[in-house]
Amino acid sequence: IQRVLIDKDNKRIDIILSEENLSKAIGRRGQNVRLATKLMNFEINIMTDQEDSERRQTEFKEKTENFVKNLELDETLGQLLVAEGFSSIDDIKDSTVEALIKIEGIEEDTAKELIDRAKEYHQKDLEEISKKIKDLGLENDLINHKGLTPGMLVTLGEQNILKLSDFADLASDELTRSFD
């Protein structure tokens, strides 16, 4: 094993191996990785260095494009933010001017503008989600049910689960499939 990356929030483990050890880790017809997945109750992804490098490059590009498109930044600034560990617009929205100006090339005015743009985007996104929930016709009892996020409500509405009783009638495997 060359590297193991554990994402506890998403219950995912990425295992990066050399090409010659890949087949041993996976096992015949995937039996080793399937057993480990069941035992640990985590999704396990086994990949080579090359696949991991390609995945990281793709993630870097997608995060940069998100910043460029939604915050109207030039590509260089978007790349700089991603390289410094900012993964989402929420990361910038929740950041401080002080944290942003520690990045070489970002001045105080730029930091303030970045945070303002991220907050504006976040607010606009919340408004769009609220409108979508309303347009889908979800009932207030379901909308106000504790523990359901706006994103979950949109997913439920898109699956024609509009009332609290519809939600309550779901079996656990149906519920899990709804959010996959």
- Give the chain's largest Cα–Cα span: 58
Q: Tell me, what's the pLDDT at 12?
A: 86
Going residue by residue through the chain (180 aa), what tens digit of pLDDT does each one get?
678 888 887 788 888 988 888 888 887 888 888 888 888 888 888 888 889 999 999 999 999 999 999 999 999 999 999 999 999 999 999 999 999 999 998 999 999 999 999 999 999 999 999 999 999 999 999 999 998 988 889 999 999 999 998 888 887 777 666 665
Listed residue (67, 132, 65) closest to 93, CA to CA: 67
Judge if pTM exceeds 0.85: no
Q: Tell me, what's the pLDDT at 180?
A: 59
